[in-house]
Structure 1
Amino acid sequence: MHETPRPRILLVDDDEAITAALAPFLERSGFAVRVAGDGRAALDAVGGEVPDIVVCDVVMPHVDGREFVRRMRARQLWLPIILLTQVGESWERSAALDEGADDYLNKPFDPHELLARIRAVLRRTAQGVSSLRSATRLQAHDLVLDRSARRVWRGTTELSLTPKALTLLEYLMMHPQEVHSRERLLSTLWGFDFATTSRAVDHRIAELRRVLGDGTGEVRFIETAQTMGYQFTAPVVAA
């Protein structure tokens, strides 16, 4: 009987105290872990063997985390990447997601939360959702989002959304079938510096549902996960 190969993680951080504690934890959790001390070493490591996922700090010498993401995407390597960012640096988070990172986690973080994020990203990859990262257009039923033109249609009708609602829709469609808490959506899309209440998320969700005509027909796009947050439930493909 053959054992299933363990998923391979490349852990990139110049703080040896973090990698010394985190690498054994991830190993015990069922992963094969390699460690790189900075972005330059990470580029060399990926050149030798492409991992299943990369967990990478943002602030590092030589090549930082955002530059690492840019270089991976420039090589057309769409391996999943989770970036570790500093609390409060909302511009870092939004820039990282725009440039092709799959997820982020604020430092300091709970290792078990990182583990949950890693498994969620790998599940999306196994389902083929990672291809959405490189797609210019996303489609769910008759809903089409053009990411580069920042335009949305249902069938032949172009919809008008506020910029924040469009950004929220894009994020939800990039992460389908995944429940997102209001707090996480706030920190990802608004930034801790720009919002103090989860009502901002609820207002934009209400806008999306109204403009999309969500729930008025047979198709349902966005569901509320009771006490937890929101989920884009319709299947999404690269159009």
Structure 2
Amino acid sequence: MSEKNTHILIVDDDKDIINSLNPFLERCGFECESASNGALALKRIQVTPPDLIVCDVIMPEMDGREFLRQMRTAKLTIPVIMLTQVGTTYEKILTLEEGADDYINKPFDPMELVARIKSVLRRSRLYQPSLTNAWMISAGDLIVNRQRREAYYQGELLHLTRRAFILLEYLVTHPDEVLSRERLLEIVWGWENVVDTRAVDSRIVELRKALKDQTGEPRYIETIPQQGYRFIHPVKISG
């Protein structure tokens, strides 16, 4: 499916966002329509299901998280990217656990949103149901149980720090994507915490040690010079 055949629904009560984002995405080749709140969006997707939804979190009548919960409760697996101004790591992780495929903070670079859209669409076409909606994911000898917040390697429970588990979870749900240190820092720590990207490197070292992964010949986590990290082992939904 090319961008020309890709239908995107933008859900946001901010008219300025709608008026700027719709034509921009259309210039990028996508087909777009919009809804001003979650209740209207639910009605819209029952008539014409889009290929992907870009949804704000804070809206009147029905906010983005309630819209997402009702979608997933109804077993609708349409990929969703959340637009959020919520700064805490807890809120971001909760949004992902509730079934969002990705999120991007406002204000955002429209080209970054396009990159996220293409990435989420690629994953959604490779994995059904989507990895972000799977409770258990395996990659060779590694099993990540997202519901119990546990990871196992070769049948043994890994004693990971909380941040290392969050990092591992994000890596396995975004396989074969180059993830910058800045993006991982935002996911795991949030910008409200004053830490630098070396904190990401430290947790990567923790994961590599737990997975017996070698930097020179990685099986799981590859370092991409000047860019970040990539989870390279094939993954599958288990259980």
Give the TM-score range, shorter chain.
Answer: over 0.9
TM-score, normalization: structure 1? 0.93
1:108 matches 2:107:
yes
* Number of residue pairs the alignment of both structures matches: 237
Structure 2 unmatched ranges of 5 or more: none
Q: 1:215, CA displacement in angstroms?
A: 2.3
Matched-pair contact (CA < 8 Å) for 1:78–1:131: yes
Q: Which amino acid aligns with 2:154?
A: G
1:88 maps to 2:87: yes
Please say if residues 3 and 30 of structure 2, whose CA atoms lie closer than 8 Å, have aligned partners that are also in contact: no
**RMSD in angstroms over aligned alpha carbons?**
1.9
Q: Which amino acid aligns with 1:163?
A: R
Whole-Å Cα distance in 1 between the matches of residues 203 and 147 of structure 2? 21
Matched residue SS, 2:214:
coil
Match of 1:228 in 2: 227
Say if 2:3 and 2:29, in contact at 8 Å, map to a contact too: no
Deviation beyond 6 Å, 4+ runs, structure 1: 216-219
Q: 1:11 Cα deviation (Å)?
A: 0.5
Match of 1:42 in 2: 41
Task: Provide the C-alpha distance between the structure 1 equivalents of 2:216 and 2:135, rounded to a whole number of angstroms.
Answer: 27
Query: TM-score, normalised to structure 2's length?
Result: 0.93
Q: Are residues 166 and 182 of structure 1, via their aligned partners in 2, closer, same or farther at CA, if it must alter by over 3 Å?
A: same
1:211 aligns with 2:210: yes
Larger mean Cα displacement after TM superposition, 151-160 or 183-192: 151-160
Letter in 2 for 1:132: L
SS in 1 for 2:151: strand
Equivalent in the alignment of 1:166: 165
SS of the aligned residue for 1:177 comes to: coil
1:8 aligns with 2:4: no
Query: Which region of structure 1 is more displaced relative to structure 2, 53-62 or 90-99?
Result: 90-99
Letter in 1 for 2:181: R
Tell me the percent identity: 50
Query: Structure 1 residue 194: deviation in Å?
Result: 2.1
Go from structure 1 to structure 2 and tell me whether the alpha carbon gap of 1:141 and 1:192 turns closer, same or farther (over 3 Å shift). Answer: same
| 1:26 aligned partner | 25
1:32-79: CA deviation from partner (whole Å, max 9, x where unpaired): 111101111111111111110000111100111111111111111111
Which residue identity is paired with 2:46? G
What is the deviation of 1:183? 0.8
The aligned amino acid for 2:173 is M
Partner SS, residue 149 of structure 1: coil
Q: 1:219 to 1:229 in 2, by over 3 A?
A: closer
Of residues 186-195 and 70-79 in structure 1, the stretch that sits farther from structure 2 once superposed is: 186-195
The 8 Å contact of residues 94 and 188 in structure 1, kept in 2 or not, is answered as yes
CA contact (8 A) 2:52 2:80 kept: yes
Displacement of 1:134 in angstroms is 2.5
Give the aligned partner of residue 65 of structure 2: 66
Secondary structure at the aligned position of 2:177 is classed as: coil
CA distance in structure 1 between the aligned counterparts of 2:14 and 2:215, rounded to whole angstroms: 52
Quote the residue 2:125 is aligned against: 126
Task: Indicate conservation of the 8 Å contact 1:186/1:195, yes or no.
Answer: no
8 Å CA contact 2:181, 2:228 repeated in 1: yes
Give the CA deviation at 1:195: 3.6
Q: Which moved more, 1:130-139 or 1:24-33?
A: 130-139
1:57 corresponding residue in structure 2 = 56
- SS of aligned partner of 1:101: coil
